[in-house]
Amino acid sequence: MTDRLSSIEAIQARIAACRRCPQMIGPPVHGAPVTGRVLLVGQAPGPREADFGRPFAWTAGRTLFRWLENATGADEERVRASVYFAAVARCFPGKARGGGDRRPDPGEIETCGEFLRAEVEVLRPDLVIPVGTLAITEVTGHRGRLVDVIGQTVPVTLFGHETEAIPLPHPSGASTWFKTEPGAALTARALNLLARHPAMRDALA
Ligand code: SF4
């Protein structure tokens, strides 16, 4: 456990010091140095997360943690202490021209993916929770409609590591997907799967 902890802390120190993407707005954001077997993968921090120094610290996070607490009984701090929070990109990408946050570009995803690869190699997760379409694509390879992947447990190979993923939609306030059918029922099904997954139960025990 100590080796895993020191390895994760070393990766997080590299993330914190990283300034490799010229278009990204730092500083990078990472979660607590959790060493359990559940890995959550978000898209990228929003504009407020760096102020708080942790992922999902603003409005989307409130929704995400409400979902998880309703499903598992674990409050935000317990989830943050039990689940490793990673992301496709660790810096705020800035605003897109048409509104909303800019989607990290393929080069940024590849560059920042080195950290995700290192985290997977240390943690060897038994469950991965990709949150939002970009993370779902990166973790599962799925590029189609959310209805075809939310509410399912998907076998995945992530950086050579065989594991399972239970995708969630992005909990952004700007999204209506999870508020209307069939998204609401599929999101509830995914959260039920999460709560019953042995790795999640172990992590929160
Ligand atoms: S997005 Fe990732 S790779 Fe790019 S500067 Fe931030 S931490 Fe570094």
Atom of ligand 1 nearest to the CA of 108: 4
Helices and strands (H, E) in the chain, number of each type: 8, 5
Structure-token match 């802390």, residue found: 9
Tell me the mean pLDDT in the region 107-127: 98
Atom of ligand 1 nearest to the CA of 104: 1
Ligand 1 atom 3: residue of nearest CA: 112
Band of residue 100 on the pLDDT scale cut at 50, 70, 90 = confident
Structure-token match 């509104």, residue found: 99
The ranges assigned to domains in the chain are: 2-204
Stated as kind and residue range, the H or E segment containing 40 is strand 38-42
Q: What is the residue type of 120? A: V
For residue 12, report the distance from its CA to the centre of ligand 1, in Å. Answer: 12
Q: What's the confidence (pLDDT) of residue 97?
A: 87
Ligand 1 pocket, CB under 6 A: 15, 18-21, 24, 28, 89-91, 108, 111-112
As given in the structure block, the two tokens for residue 184 are 């609401």
Summarised one tens digit per residue, pLDDT across range 174-188 is: 899 999 999 999 999
Architecture per CATH, domain 2-204, reads as 3-Layer(aba) Sandwich (3.40)
Ligand 1 atom 8: residue of nearest CA: 18
As given in the structure block, the two tokens for residue 14 are 């590299």
Q: What's the confidence (pLDDT) of residue 20?
A: 98
In the chain, what percentage of residues exceed pLDDT 70? 100
Q: What's the confidence (pLDDT) of residue 1?
A: 62
Q: What's the confidence (pLDDT) of residue 17?
A: 98
pTM for this prediction: 0.97
As given in the structure block, the two tokens for residue 160 are 């050579």
Would you say the C-alpha torsion 91, 95, 97, 103 has a positive or negative sign?
Answer: positive
**Mean pLDDT, the chain, whole residue set:** 97
Summarised one tens digit per residue, pLDDT across range 12-63 is: 999 999 999 999 999 999 999 999 999 999 999 999 999 999 999 999 999 9
